[in-house]
Amino acid sequence: MAACKITAGLDCASCNDIRGKSGLFNEIYVINYDDVDSTLGINGIYYTGVAPFYVTGLAISAYANAYKFCTKKQSGAITHELVVTDGGYKYYTQTLTGSFIQSDAQSRLDIDGLIGGNFYIVARDFNNRFWLLGQGDGVELTAATQTTGTAPGDAAGYTFTFTGNVDGLAPQLLKNGNYEDTLNYLESLL
């Protein structure tokens, strides 16, 4: 099992690390899992030379799109939880949570359309890094709650959770090595 040995440690946090912000920005990009052409790239994902940690794009099928959902500010988070089975197999459970404010008829239809789907999701954190969730088997909507709140200042809208089991931590989507090209790439998929 030589491949399971560590080969490096982690440096102490830099000034930039300490000043980094937590949380997700309010846009997430949702792509139907079946709309990614798994015959191209590595199962539909284009990696840089440092695979599996950086992705340069997805092989979106012709006439397919990504869909942008905007969450409430400071409502989004991604977690990766290591799971170890009784048999010793190890994987990560990826979870994306957040809230939507909209509650009009079209928004309710759009949110309802997420039920039963399997997706890739790209989410941007407050440090302008884009994370690809669902690498391998996709993520699914596993929980959703609609609330009106009770007082004028209460949270209202939809709270959602997407979950998926994957072999590794989420790769970072980075087009041409910079933020602007990555954002333009995602917007071009809409």
Question: 72-119 pLDDT, tens per residue?
Answer: 888 889 999 999 999 999 999 999 999 887 767 887 788 888 898 999
Residue 15 lies in a domain: no
Domain that holds residue 177: 21-188
In degrees and rounded to multiples of 5, residue 114 shows phi and psi of -75, -20
How many structural domains comprise the chain? 1
Long-range contacts of residues 82-90, Cβ cutoff 8 Å, at least 24 apart: 83/165
pTM of the prediction?
0.85
Q: How confident is the model at residue 140, as a pLDDT?
A: 96
Residue 125 lies in a domain: yes
- From the CB of residue 125, how many other CB atoms can be counted at a distance below 10 Å? 18
108 contact partners, CB below 8 Å, separation of at least 6: none
Q: Does the structure show a pLDDT above 60 at 2?
A: no
Residue 35 lies in a domain: yes
Residue 141 lies in a domain: yes
Residue 4 lies in a domain: no
Weakest mean pLDDT among 1-15, 87-101, 119-133, 141-155:
1-15
**DSSP codes joined into one string, 125-155:** ETTS-EEEE-TTT-BEEEEEEEE--SSTTS-
In degrees and rounded to multiples of 5, residue 165 shows phi and psi of -105, 125
Residue 127 lies in a domain: yes
Residue 3 lies in a domain: no
Residue 1 lies in a domain: no
